[in-house]
Structure 1
Amino acid sequence: MTAQSAGTDTRGLRERKKLETRSALRAAAVRMYLERGPAAVTVQDICEAAGVSQRTFFNYFETKDDAVFDWDRRLAGQLVELLTARPASEPPLEAVHRTLRTALPALVADAGWRERRRLLGAYPELVPKLLHSNSHLAEALAEAVAERTGLPPDALYPRLLAGAGLTVLRSSIRAWDPESPAEDLLAVLDSCFASLAAGLPRPESDDPVHSAR
């Protein structure tokens, strides 16, 4: 092993450890919010559950809520990578559709995501914090759309397309029964994007799953 490859391995191990620590803090925060309620949980509680110091916690997050909603930061990175990898010849709306469709099955299968969904249902006062977190997700996706289309990052079209895509994502998840197969969720997503592409005509059915088939 050369000195260069050894250095690369060391940096790779360090990055993996950082990701593991961040993930452990995120999971501990969501779990403790569910068990005790947000107001009863302290940063120290989260640190003890994750097995790290408060100093380590503040290397990653400014507040305990930031740890709970860190999931959106991770998703933003995944969506940007997926969108960047889509064929350059693909129309922007289709590229966003395919990006979300690719990310969705792993997203809803993630135990942490399901726990956070339960948390938001139990403590609706956290929803404004979710909306704030989602704004960063929309901004990251809009920047990726802007780069793909050659438009300025602050142009209207990238923001409009990113916002529409994420609205479709949220609406599809809300319309989906979590006890049903992920294929049903993908059918809802496809139906919503088809309606968006067609100019949002009034649907013949109120059932998004069966109207997509």
Structure 2
Amino acid sequence: MVSGEREPGLRERKKARTRAELRHAAVALALEHGPSAVTVPEICAAAGVSPRTFFNYFDSKEEPLFAWDSWLSREATARLARRPADEDTLTALRNAMQETLPGVGTSGDWPARRKLLTTHPELVGRLAQNLHHMEDLLAGALAERLSVPPSSLYPQLAAGAAVSALRASFVAWDPDTGQSGLAALLDRSFDLFTAGLLDGGGQGTGRRNRREPEKISDGDVEIP
């Protein structure tokens, strides 16, 4: 938890626990029976809640399968907006995402979610939409931070790179390494793209062509 943030109260912790139980039940049932065959009452029975409670948290039976993505998008964007104004853009993005990671859920949820997406590729389109939405939110927050239009090149590019770094970190992550392992991969991802993505991540012996970075202008903001 970031210094200065209050601990969640009992009601908030109970709501988070219920949401996690619904998410876990939805993923487990979708793996067992296939996403299209699972019903809301079945998810509720597995989680021990009523359908009315379910719809207090989610609008459809598919939403729990992507609850992480929606939460990550909102939380990372909110934390980016709270980063110090004198922090450079990429550092602010890195720190906002690192602050968000502890809330993504227990490591035991992720192998099941990864297996579900692999087994049912029809779900990948929804995941891609969620990632694109996250890029849009981050680009908007960056544009406001830099006082440029959201469609400007730099916010779009920086947001896309940050989301790609997050996605690559999750793909490479071994959940057995816990949150610290995921955080280390995210740091490494940011290090790699800020260094210009050297061949092999700077670990191989391939030929590298490097130039000194040129300064470009994005609106009224000079971007190194």
Q: TM-score band, normalised by the shorter chain? A: 0.7 to 0.9
| Partner in structure 2 of residue 209 of structure 1 | none
Aligned residues: 194
Return the alpha-carbon distance in structure 2 between the equivalents of residues 102 and 91 of structure 1.
16
Select between 71-80 and 184-193 the one with higher mean Cα deviation. Answer: 184-193
Distance 1:60 1:183, change over 3 A: closer
Name which of 149, 165, 170 aligns with 1:173: 170
Residues 3-152 of structure 1 correspond to what in structure 2 (within 5 A)? 22-50=19-47, 51-53=49-51, 57-58=54-55, 60-107=57-104, 109-152=106-149
Cα distance between partner residues in 2 of 1:41 and 1:129: 17
Q: TM-score, normalised by structure 1?
A: 0.74
Q: CA RMSD of the aligned region, Å?
A: 2.9
Q: Which deviates more from structure 2 when the two are superposed, residues 166-175 or residues 177-186? A: 177-186
Following superposition, the deviation at residue 185 of structure 1 comes to 3.5
Kindly indicate whether the alpha-carbon contact (under 8 Å) linking 1:30 and 1:119 is maintained by their aligned counterparts in 2.
Answer: yes
Contact 2:111 2:175 in 1 (8 A): no
Distance 1:24 1:151, change over 3 A: farther
Query: Residues 71 and 113 of structure 1 are in contact (CA less than 8 Å); yes or no, is this contact kept in structure 2?
Result: no
TM-score (norm 2): 0.71
In structure 1, stretches of 5+ residues that fail to align are 1-11, 207-213
Deviation at 1:106, TM superposition (A): 4.4
Which of residues 183, 186, 191 in structure 2 aligns to 1:189?
186
More off after superposition, 187-196 vs 90-99 = 187-196
Instruction: Flag the 1:169–1:21 CA change in 2: closer, same or farther, 3 A.
Output: same
**In 2: Cα distance, 1:91 partner to 1:107 partner:** 25
CA distance in 1, matches of 2:172, 2:117: 16
Change (3 A) 1:13 1:112: same
| 8 Å contact kept, 1:108–1:114 | no
Does the 8 A contact of 1:28 with 1:46 survive in 2?
Answer: yes
**Amino acid paired to 2:184:** A
